[in-house]
Each structure stands twice: as structure tokens, then as C-alpha cells.
Structure 1
Amino acid sequence: MEFDELKTTSCVARAALAVCSGLLLLQGCSPQANVASSQPSISNPYTDLEREFDALVAENDVVTAGAAIITDGHVAWTGNFGEQAPGIMASERTLYNVGSITKTVAAETILRLVSDGTLSLDASMSPVWVDPDLQDDNRHELLTPRVALTHSTGFPNWRYFTKNGKLAFNADPGTSFTYSGEGYEYLATYSEKLTDQKFEALVQEHVFDPIGIENASYSIDKAYFNNIAQAKAPDGSFPGHYCYPDNGYCRSEGSSTPADDLVISVNDFALFLISVMNSDGYDKSVTADRDTVHVKKAEANNTILCDSTKYAQCPIAQGYGLGWEVLDFGDRQIVSHGGSDWHELALAYFDTQSKDGVIIFLNAPSNDALKVMPKAISLLDADSPMIELYQRWLRQAEAAADPD
């Protein structure tokens, strides 16, 4: 497959795009002046940011990093740092494995199918699809698209985590938060049987094509391999794309999952995030449902710990909406999702009121990436509530590695 050269979208290159003179602040950074693309002499206001981000990557064993700032619903800045592969610098064409952020693309596909009347959020999936492992458990009748999108299926994250490798309920559906890739697999299979289309085709038709996303792959396709940022195992080796160094397992070509392993460029994910901000493909009622906290997590696992936070505000609710994690401040919400695996750490979020957003993709061994993420967020959004979250995870990881 041939890859078209992406157009770099920046505050200087985009006509009529206004930029902030400083870093993004979700609390109120707004455009100050229009900048025409016919004025190439205008300096890049993000030069200092790029220099600091580049140094952060170089000094912390991050192989590749991509980032974006979205201001008022427009791409204000994107950057790619480090190497895509040995001797090949990262660029706008670099594709990043975004891990569980893949679920947001699946969720947005479902919301568009809800909007066009193809499926209902609250219809039982059992008349169309019941996993063979659940045939003898009548609780499968309680499984709905809403339950899957809000991570309340009661499933484990993956069935292979169970002793017998079979899918089973750890909790009654709809009663509690149980983060689950299996829930998304279940929903995707249901959608396929309902529409008689592969889920990847539904993603292409309802999300990628309308937005104009071309540099992304939902399935394992060797045509994209030359552009995917190469992962580095702890011993410094490259185990292969979609491979795991600890056991040698590699996902097979042509396979896909709605829950993991999407590869996409920073520029194209920024287009996707802006589309979500604008609720493209569905109406305000679906948007309100998406941005409502339907299922709460255990308080200790909240993004903001209100009794100890340094963040300026405490949300009135926090937990999962439809496919996204939501911090609800009443007049505005911060909508987010993260992704992590042995070789990557990814984060994307936006403010529903200001339509400001941040994207950070880190290709590095997970512990190295976790050390960098709080600093990377600080560079792009100094007042972000996500900084404390990743600092907390870092402390927990360090404590686990050195319990003494």
C-alpha cells in the first residue's frame, strides 16, 4: 500500500487558525488572532515546547513519541519525536500502537449505529448473539450495548485470564465497573451478526471514511508495517510488530479486535478526536448520554482523589460514560481514555466546553513510558488533572518494584 504524504497541520500552516502564544490550558486558552498560511515568515510559537519535548524523549529511553494540542476544536500543534525505526526519524507518517484507546473508535462506531437506528443501546444482545461459554447462564440476557460500553458486563478483562480460559461473569451485568476487553469483543460480534458486516468494515464506513482517516489500521496488515513505530523489548531487541517478547506470541495477519492494537498517526487521531468533540454522526441526546457518568469506579481508582488532590476542582461525578472515561464538573466534562501495554503508553482527552484537547503517544517499555508521561502532560497542559493520576501510577509502580 502506498501512503500519501500527510499535510502537517500546525498553527502556522492552517489558514484562519488562531493560536495561543503559550502552552495549552484546558481552563481557558483561546485563540487570539488569525494566521494566514500565506505568511511563511511567522515564527513557530511552539519552538520551545518542541525543544523540551524532544529533550524529554531523548533523555528517558523513549523510542518514539507523538503528541498534539487541539485548541477550540482545531489542531494547533503536532509533533513526532525519536525514531520510528533504527535510523529512521519519526514523522507525520509514523503510526503508533495506541492500545486500549482503540476502544474509543469502537465506541464511536457503535454510537453512530445507534444514531442511524441500526441498534439500540438498551436492547438485549441475546436474541442476536450469545457466546457459547454463556449459554447456560441466563445473565447473558442482561447484556446490552450500553452495558458493554460502560464496562459493566461483569466479564474479566480477557477470558484467557480465567483458570479454564472460558468466558464467565465475575459480577452481574450492569451492577458494577468491570473493565473488560471481552465486553467490547462481545459487542463487536453482536454488531457483526446484526448488520452482516465485519466490525472493521463498520469502523471504516461510519468513522474512518466520514472523517477522512487514511493512515490507520484496525487489523494486522503488513502493508502498514514499514510505518509503525518499532517497539523495543527490555533487552533492547525488536520482537516484531504485534509480538510479545516474554512468550514469543505474535498476533496473526488479518486479525483484528475492537479493544486493542489500533495503529494510527497523531494527525489522524487528532482528526478523530475533533470529530468526537463535534459529535459527528449523532445528535445532542447521544452526546449527553456519552458524556454522562453511568458507572463509577472504586473511589481509590478515580482519576481525581478529591480528598488529597492538588487540582483546582473536584468533579461532581467521575467514571465511565459511553466508551469514554468522564470527569463531570457540571458545566463541562473532561472526556478521556488511555492505553497501555508492555511497549506503549497513550493518552487522549478533551474539554467538552472549550474543545481543547491533548494527545500523547509514547512508544517505550512501559516503566520508562510511565516515568515520562506526567512530564509530557505538564509540557502540553500544565493544569491537567491527568498529571496527578500518572504520578500516582508511577509511585505505585515504583513501590511494587521495590517493596522495601
Structure 2
Amino acid sequence: MKRLTFSVLLLLTFGRVSSQSLNDAYIDKVVSRLMDTAAVTGLQIGIVKDGQVFFAKGYGYRNKALNLRNDANTCFYGASLSKSLFAYVVMQLVDEKKIDLDKPVYQYLPKRLPEYEAYKQLAGDERYKLITPRMCLDHTTGFPNWRDLNQGRLEIQFRPGTKYAYSGEGIMLLQLVVETVNGKSLAETARQRIFKPFGMDRTDFKWQPRFETNYAVGHNVNEDTLTMVRYRATYAAGSMETTAVDYTRFMAMVLQSKNLSKKSWNEMLSPQTIIKSARQFDPGDTSRIIENRSIGLSYGLGWGLFHTPKGKAFFKEGHADGWMHYVIGLPDQRFALVIMGNSSNAESIFKELVEKLAGVTIPWYWEGYTPYRPNIKLPLADLKKYVGEYDGRLKAIITIENGCLSVASPTVNLAKSRLYATGNDHFYLKVMEVDLSFVKDAQGKVVKVIADDEGEHYELSKIK
């Protein structure tokens, strides 16, 4: 008997998802179960099948505090999904020979790059002259992701073009080039080239008054609402508002290479740089390089790439506080899946959601998508047994908030945070890696709680 390869095993395990099984009832069942289990406040799902929009729907809340529900046309903050759409614009300009992917970016600008206020910190480092549009799109510029995460410094951390390191700063530099070449803002260019021709009526790089009637806010791990940001300026790296309907249309157009030459489409979705890192934002850790090679993990122009039993896949993530997105396209299948979440818990279900709806396994470890832990619903009567004050090496106050158990601790400045049950008497926190085990006496009365904080134990007695 032949030994089954890893790829064949994946196909047998997940390849059962077919176009016939992808109906509304199946999708609703999968999505609802995962959202409920992982406490995902809101989600939008879009599916492209046979190159056409097949499904788009909103789930959960666009604003839980106000009891407002999502639908497929609710505006979501797109975060880094902006980058892939921007890349499509750039490739159109490549088609028109307005941009050469390998011409250094400084040669497009009317003055030296360090003479621009945003780039004055590059003065004295001539390596900026090596940076090309290709490097901006495949994340090999050498820039940090954001200067704000690098003590406010914009610097070139390695020779441009030599290795992958995700960088929003690189995308913003290319935006400067695009706006210089076109003589207009990126927002105007995107409306003319993408939003209007693709029928994306509720998408823009800048906040529009028409979005006010139906928009979502983000929610943290405790499902509390977060402050809404309305972007008044255009950022190619992440100011876009969009919807499940609109971004699914965009993915359909990408699969069709709409308004893009086949040459540029192939270039965009071809490996430009091989990814060696074990984690996306830790380029120095190469401990899983063999695993990366086995799936051909790489970056194209604006898209991540890897191999699946269903052929080549291209993907893009979006991530910000309260916003978690994932889109994946399978060109050989003419299939795409759009997942957009207005919940900080959404990433925990992406691995399983893609497996169930697309039939492939994503490089979830590299992307940092730690799968959700169990979240068992316990009756309110059972939860009441744990309510009270606990004291020991630290103080904890257990309450019930909106039908769920919460804990606060003035000792460690922990505000009320939701507890998730893995079984009777066993709970965990999402805001920090802490497990709680309640202890009962012979009569079934809760007398103490043991907190396990990454191996350190705290035994707290119930005093009230």
C-alpha cells in the first residue's frame, strides 16, 4: 500500500468541501457555531464561486452595546485589506507603463526623498536609492512595519531587496509615487479604477457620509465596543472602509484579472520573495523553514502565496484592535473566501473557518492565528455559585455581567474581564494567559479559586 503524502492527506481531510455543499444552511451552521464557541461579536462572510459572487452575509453585531446587527452591506474598517487593493491599482499603472516595478522610487519624485518631511530620517543613508516599487509590494524595503513601533524612527534595517519583512511604511512610500505619477490622490485614483468600475459603492479610502447609516464598530476580546475612527486622509496601507459585498466583488474581479493584463496578473501572483520566518512579524526566527518550503510560502506583489492540494492560493490579512480579516483566493478553482470580523476574537476561528468553507489549511501558525479554546455555556444558576470576593496573594472580584462570568483585580489593575468556561469549575481569561479553577467543599459550596498564570499558581480564598 502506498504511503499517503501530506498533501494527499490534506486533500482527503479538507477536500470534501464542494460547491454542492456550500449552501446557505451549511455556511450559516458553520459560522454560527464558531462565532458562538469563540465569542466572536460580529462577522461578514463573502464567497466567490466559478469566478462570480456567490454569497455575502453579515453575522452578529455591528454594535453590540446598541444591539445593532451586521448585514452584508455594513461598512467595516478594512485595515490591511487596503494594501492588496492598492497593489491592484499599481499593477494597472504598470500595464500602462506609468510605473516600472524595478525603477528606483526616488527617480519618480521631484526632489530627494529625505527632503520630504516624512522621510527626513533617511538622510545620510543612500540605501533608499535601492528601493523599488517591487520591493514596496513584496515587503523587502528594509523598513520597519511602522516607525511608531520602532521608537518613532524610520530607518532601513537591512539592504533593500534581500529578505521579507512586512512593512506598512513601504506601502506608504509607494503611495507617494503613485500620487506623484498620477497627479491626484490615491482616493480619487481608486474610485476611478476600482470602486466605480467594479460596483463597490460602499468602499472608499476616506470616510464618506453615506457610510453613516450602516457601519460597524470594533469589539475587544470582552466584546466591549471600541472607539470608531473615521479616516479623513488616505492611507494605502490601511484607511479603507468596505463591506462583504464590495470586497467579495473585488476578489471576483481579481480572479477574472478584470482590467489587468494577464502578464501583470501573473506577475502579481508569482513568488517575489521566499518567506523563511516562523512568524510573520519575527523575521529572525527560521525554526519552521522546512514547513514553509513544503507549502511554498512566499510573497507576491501585495499578496501572500502558498500551495494547497487545490492549487495555488493567494491571501491577505487585516488586523487592528477590534478588526480581524482574512481573504483567500484559489485561482485554479475560481474560488475566493472573504472573512471580515469586527471582533478581536475573530482570528481564533480563521483556521477552522477556512478549512470548513474553502477546503484548505492556511499557514495559521506563521500568521499568528492561535485557534480558539473551548467556551462552554453554563446556566446562570451555576455561574452564581462563583460570584464573590477572593483574597490571597492578590484580590479578585467575580461578578456576572450580561449573563457571563467576569473577574476584576485591583491588585494587578485588571478591569472587569470576561471569563470563558472550559468545563464546570474551570475558566480562562483572553486578556491574559490565566486559567482559573474553582474548588468546592463537600457540600458543593465554592471555597477558593486557584489561578494559574503561565505556571505560577495563586490560591485565593473566598471571603464573601
- TM-score tier, shorter chain, comes to 0.7 to 0.9
Question: Which residue, out of 215, 222, 246, partners 2:202?
Answer: 215
Separation (CA, whole Å) in 2 of partners of 1:52 and 1:237: 24
Separation (CA, whole Å) in 2 of partners of 1:106 and 1:187: 10
Separation (CA, whole Å) in 1 of partners of 2:143 and 2:342: 29
Question: Which residue, out of 83, 104, 113, partners 1:124?
Answer: 104
Separation (CA, whole Å) in 1 of partners of 2:36 and 2:102: 48
Question: Which residue, out of 70, 79, 88, partners 1:99?
Answer: 79
Give 1:147-226 correspondences, 5 Å limit.
147-163=135-151, 165-226=152-213
- Structure 1 unpaired stretches of 5+: 1-24, 33-43, 243-250
Would you say 1:88 and 2:68 are equivalent positions? yes
Letter in 2 for 1:300: A
Mark the CA change 1:167 to 1:230 in structure 2 (over 3 Å): closer, same or farther. Answer: same
Q: Is the 8 A contact 1:153 1:174 kept in 2?
A: yes
Q: Is the 8 A contact 2:348 2:372 kept in 1?
A: no
Question: Which residue, out of 295, 300, 304, partners 1:325?
Answer: 304
Between 146-155 and 330-339, report the one with greater CA deviation.
330-339
Q: Secondary structure at the match of 1:77?
A: strand
1:128-158 C-alpha deviation (Å, 9 max, x unpaired): 3313322322111111110100000000011
The equivalent residue for 2:47 is: 69
Mark the CA change 1:384 to 1:74 in structure 2 (over 3 Å): closer, same or farther. Answer: farther
1:1-48 C-alpha deviation (Å, 9 max, x unpaired): xxxxxxxxxxxxxxxxxxxxxxxx77884579xxxxxxxxxxx93213
What is the Cα deviation at residue 223 of structure 1?
4.2
Separation (CA, whole Å) in 2 of partners of 1:285 and 1:104: 17
User: What is the aligned residue count?
Assistant: 353
Q: Secondary structure at the match of 1:353?
A: helix
1:164-195 C-alpha deviation (Å, 9 max, x unpaired): x2311011111111110000000001111122
Letter in 2 for 1:336: F
Larger radius of gyration: 2
Mark the CA change 1:45 to 1:351 in structure 2 (over 3 Å): closer, same or farther. Answer: closer
What is the Cα deviation at residue 307 of structure 1?
5.6
Separation (CA, whole Å) in 1 of partners of 2:15 and 2:202: 28
Q: Secondary structure at the match of 2:206?
A: coil
Between 374-383 and 384-393, report the one with greater CA deviation.
384-393
Would you say 1:136 and 2:116 are equivalent positions? no
The equivalent residue for 1:284 is: 262
The equivalent residue for 1:341 is: 320
Separation (CA, whole Å) in 2 of partners of 1:278 and 1:27: 25
Separation (CA, whole Å) in 2 of partners of 1:83 and 1:89: 4
Give 1:203-352 correspondences, 5 Å limit.
203-234=190-221, 236-242=223-229, 253-301=231-279, 314-315=294-295, 317-328=296-307, 332-352=311-331
Q: Is the 8 A contact 2:79 2:320 kept in 1?
A: yes
Would you say 1:378 and 2:365 are equivalent positions? no
Letter in 2 for 1:154: G
Separation (CA, whole Å) in 2 of partners of 1:281 and 1:264: 20
Letter in 1 for 2:184: Q
Query: After the TM superposition, which segments of 4 or more aligned residues of structure 1 sit over 6 Å from their partners?
Result: 25-28, 395-400
Q: Is the 8 A contact 1:291 1:333 kept in 2?
A: no
The equivalent residue for 2:335 is: 356
TM-score by length of 2: 0.69
Separation (CA, whole Å) in 1 of partners of 2:335 and 2:343: 26
Q: Bigger relative contact order, structure 1 or 2, given CA contacts below 8 A and separation 6+? A: 1
Q: Secondary structure at the match of 2:45?
A: strand
Separation (CA, whole Å) in 1 of partners of 2:190 and 2:81: 14
Separation (CA, whole Å) in 1 of partners of 2:221 and 2:277: 33
The equivalent residue for 2:88 is: 108
Separation (CA, whole Å) in 1 of partners of 2:175 and 2:40: 33
Separation (CA, whole Å) in 2 of partners of 1:172 and 1:219: 34
Q: Percent identity?
A: 19
Q: Secondary structure at the match of 1:224?
A: helix
Q: Is the 8 A contact 2:221 2:343 kept in 1?
A: no
Mark the CA change 1:360 to 1:219 in structure 2 (over 3 Å): closer, same or farther. Answer: same
Separation (CA, whole Å) in 1 of partners of 2:24 and 2:95: 39
Separation (CA, whole Å) in 1 of partners of 2:15 and 2:264: 24
Between 278-287 and 170-179, report the one with greater CA deviation.
278-287
What is the Cα deviation at residue 388 of structure 1?
6.5
- Structure 2 unpaired stretches of 5+: 1-13, 114-118, 281-287, 374-428, 434-452, 456-464
Q: Is the 8 A contact 2:16 2:359 kept in 1?
A: no
Separation (CA, whole Å) in 2 of partners of 1:63 and 1:330: 32
Q: Secondary structure at the match of 2:136?
A: helix
Separation (CA, whole Å) in 2 of partners of 1:230 and 1:123: 40
Letter in 1 for 2:90: I
Q: Is the 8 A contact 2:271 2:300 kept in 1?
A: yes
Mark the CA change 1:322 to 1:220 in structure 2 (over 3 Å): closer, same or farther. Answer: same
Separation (CA, whole Å) in 2 of partners of 1:166 and 1:387: 30
Mark the CA change 1:140 to 1:327 in structure 2 (over 3 Å): closer, same or farther. Answer: same
Q: Secondary structure at the match of 1:174?
A: coil
Mark the CA change 1:267 to 1:386 in structure 2 (over 3 Å): closer, same or farther. Answer: farther
Between 276-285 and 126-135, report the one with greater CA deviation.
126-135
Q: Secondary structure at the match of 1:103?
A: helix
